[in-house]
Structure 1
Amino acid sequence: MGVLRLFASRLAQGLLLVLAVVVLNFVLVHSAPGDPVETIAGASGGMSPELMADLRKQYGLDLPFHTQLGIYLAKVASGDLGYSYYFNLPVSQMILERVPATLLLVLSAVFTAFVAGTLLGVLSSRKPNGLLSQAITVLSLVGFAAPVFWTGIMLVLLFASVLPILPVSGMRSPDPATGSLADMLDVLHHLILPMVTLAVIYLAQYSRLARSSMLDVLGSDYIRTARAKGLAEGVVLYKHALRNALLPVVTVLGLQFGNVLAGAILVETVFNWPGLGRLAFDSVLRRDYPTILGVLLFSSIVVIVMNMVTDLCYRLIDPRIKTS
């Protein structure tokens, strides 16, 4: 019952936050410089003033700002995200078509960073002053300091000219493989470089955080008691210490999911990955307001859901945490 009450409370807070995000996104996007109709006119080689006025009327851009906001909120409440100014397709359809590619990239990068970073943090905490710990620390600092787009560009240069063994663009080969298994392997082959690029910076953060948390836990009384009982070092590290040390890492993972989505925009642009990030980048250049707002809304919902899942995961990791 306590879990259900917690879930209901988080759900109500999430809905209010989504409403605030929708309003704020609409205000910011429409306050940005640029005119969608002028962008369309420039892309098509020019338009008459009459046609541009008709387009503004068709898109509702001639209405007062508060009226546009009210119409948009009513459409979002009914599940209608509108039509793209540039692609002339339903925004919800374009988002659904690109969600799998973005989720594949983001979830694989987060999983890789979380697992590898935690393991590196545990290894470096065993001998904090050892050579392995110092090497992991240096690699973590380098990975954290390198901008994600710079890492992607360096990997593109490396594997496009020096070691041409991995694809550096797209999600599939120009000649698609036949068969579901061959297609899956082709996608995974293209996924390696974007996933590594996005995972490196977060792997560095998780390894440093896991190392610091493990050092604190390993100095606790119950760890000394477990070792005094003669338990194997692996049992002490991974069964007793790691479970408590994971709480800060899980917290940061949930809170940084929005940053991962933001990083995915840069990664998808560098590697031409056909996901939401690439769609958002193209829509910003074309002043495609409905598409921009749709992508922002979807990303906000994903971040809010991840924060709710993080709260619920605390009880699974540490039963001492109460829902109150």
Structure 2
Amino acid sequence: MIRYFLSRVGFGALVLFLLSVFVFVLFYVSPSDPARIIAGDKATEALMEQIRVNLGLDKPMIQQYFMFLGNLLQGDLGFSYRSNLPVWELLSRRIPVTMSLVFGAVIVWLAIGIPIGIGSAKNPGTLRDRLGQGFAIIGISFPTFVLGMIALYTLYFLPTKMGVTLFPPSGYVPFAENPGQWAWHLALPWVTLALVTAAVYARLTRGQMLDVLGQDYIRTARAKGLTERRVTYVHAFRSAMPPLVTQLGIDIGMLLAGVIVIEQVFGLPGVGSLAVTSVAMQDRPVVIAIVLLGGLFVVLSNLIVDTLYALLDSRVRTARK
């Protein structure tokens, strides 16, 4: 098990290294001039040349990359061209917002999607199954921003016109400052993100459970007199979990890199909104840091998924030795 885990860690480190090379080269060959961005349009050529020297941009590309990599390994992500603040300081303010949004939404969509999928699989062809499939189709078809605007209109704008405030339209309150306000401000974003994603999990759970419930060992478990609840949740659902775990790992990793649409719709100051602002302002160090942070989240999520796979099924770690 340790050997298998170390091999996955090594592969993840290789992926992050290749990502750092790709991102650095991509921004190195970009037409924008960091010195011009920092100094402004009216700066003299002498001033811009001095800025290039200070940033190390006058050195060969390979030397610049190893300087960049060395700083990165020490946790130095550089300084923002626009705010002149350390990039890590900017990210440290935004990461808790995105993590609060993502992990809260994960709990909601799992609580909605998995029971709907299991209920549909246990009653194929019935009204309950058709309703579950209808939910999945509608949820997958709805763009996130549309659902977010509908939620704001029905649960904020209309009640506010009648003098009732059910939910705030935007903003974020740190959990440590006020847990109740934290959850109140995130309720609409959680539900919006969860409803769309829950549809995917309902559909995936239904397909996996239908396949598992038709297996011989499930019929044997029923023949032995086990309760339907035990057969469904202990035997069948455990066998259906690996694809769900894989999908969950991918989704969490991608969303932690920045839930751009939801953060923009609800005015949340997370990593996604920082990414949009940084790209618009050509703030290269911040954009590079966000891309690498997203890659780190994806690698860590996949590492956790691979480890869970190995714990759930010993054949996985045996086959990959």
TM-score (norm 2): 0.88
Which position in structure 1 is the counterpart of 2:68?
72
On the 8 A contact 2:172/2:269 being kept in 1, the answer is yes
Amino acid at match of 2:171: G
On the 8 A contact 2:4/2:317 being kept in 1, the answer is no
Q: Any idea what SS the aligned residue of 1:205 has?
A: helix
Which position in structure 2 is the counterpart of 1:109?
105
Pick aligned residue for 2:298 from 292, 295, 303: 303
Which position in structure 2 is the counterpart of 1:26?
24
Which position in structure 2 is the counterpart of 1:133?
129
Amino acid at match of 1:80: D
Which position in structure 1 is the counterpart of 2:163?
none
On the 8 A contact 1:244/1:318 being kept in 2, the answer is no
TM-score (norm 1): 0.88
Pick aligned residue for 1:118 from 110, 114, 119: 114
On the 8 A contact 2:258/2:271 being kept in 1, the answer is no
On the 8 A contact 2:257/2:297 being kept in 1, the answer is no
Pick aligned residue for 1:149 from 131, 145, 150: 145
Matches within 5 A, 1:1-324: 3-39=1-37, 46-50=41-45, 51-164=47-160, 165-172=166-173, 183-261=178-256, 264-323=259-318, 324=321
C-alpha distance in 1, partners of 2:30/2:142?
30
Alpha-carbon deviation of 1:62? 4.7
Question: What is the aligned residue count?
Answer: 313
C-alpha distance in 2, partners of 1:160/1:116?
23
C-alpha distance in 1, partners of 2:9/2:304?
11
On the 8 A contact 1:143/1:204 being kept in 2, the answer is yes
User: Given the superposition, is the C-alpha separation of residues 148 and 68 from structure 1 closer, same or farther in structure 2, using an over 3 Å criterion?
Assistant: farther
On the 8 A contact 2:144/2:193 being kept in 1, the answer is yes
C-alpha distance in 2, partners of 1:286/1:202?
31
C-alpha distance in 1, partners of 2:3/2:305?
16
Alpha-carbon deviation of 1:57? 4.0
Q: Any idea what SS the aligned residue of 1:128 has?
A: coil
User: Given the superposition, is the C-alpha separation of residues 63 and 196 from structure 1 closer, same or farther in structure 2, using an over 3 Å criterion?
Assistant: farther
Alpha-carbon deviation of 1:105? 1.1
Indicate the percent of aligned positions where both proteins have the same amino acid. Answer: 40
Amino acid at match of 1:70: F
Amino acid at match of 1:278: S
C-alpha distance in 2, partners of 1:258/1:54?
40
User: Given the superposition, is the C-alpha separation of residues 169 and 303 from structure 1 closer, same or farther in structure 2, using an over 3 Å criterion?
Assistant: same
C-alpha distance in 2, partners of 1:248/1:95?
32
Between 1:248-257 and 1:24-33, the stretch displaced more is: 24-33
C-alpha distance in 2, partners of 1:104/1:214?
30
On the 8 A contact 2:257/2:295 being kept in 1, the answer is no
User: Given the superposition, is the C-alpha separation of residues 144 and 26 from structure 1 closer, same or farther in structure 2, using an over 3 Å criterion?
Assistant: same
C-alpha RMSD of matched pairs (Å): 2.3
Alpha-carbon deviation of 1:35? 4.1
Between 1:246-255 and 1:305-314, the stretch displaced more is: 246-255
C-alpha distance in 1, partners of 2:145/2:186?
16
The runs of at least 4 aligned residues of structure 1 exceeding 6 Å deviation read none
On the 8 A contact 1:116/1:203 being kept in 2, the answer is yes
- CA offset digits 1:28-78 (Å, max 9, x no partner): 234445444555566xxx533344444444434454444432321221122
User: Given the superposition, is the C-alpha separation of residues 154 and 208 from structure 1 closer, same or farther in structure 2, using an over 3 Å criterion?
Assistant: same
Between 1:114-123 and 1:29-38, the stretch displaced more is: 29-38
On the 8 A contact 1:35/1:287 being kept in 2, the answer is no
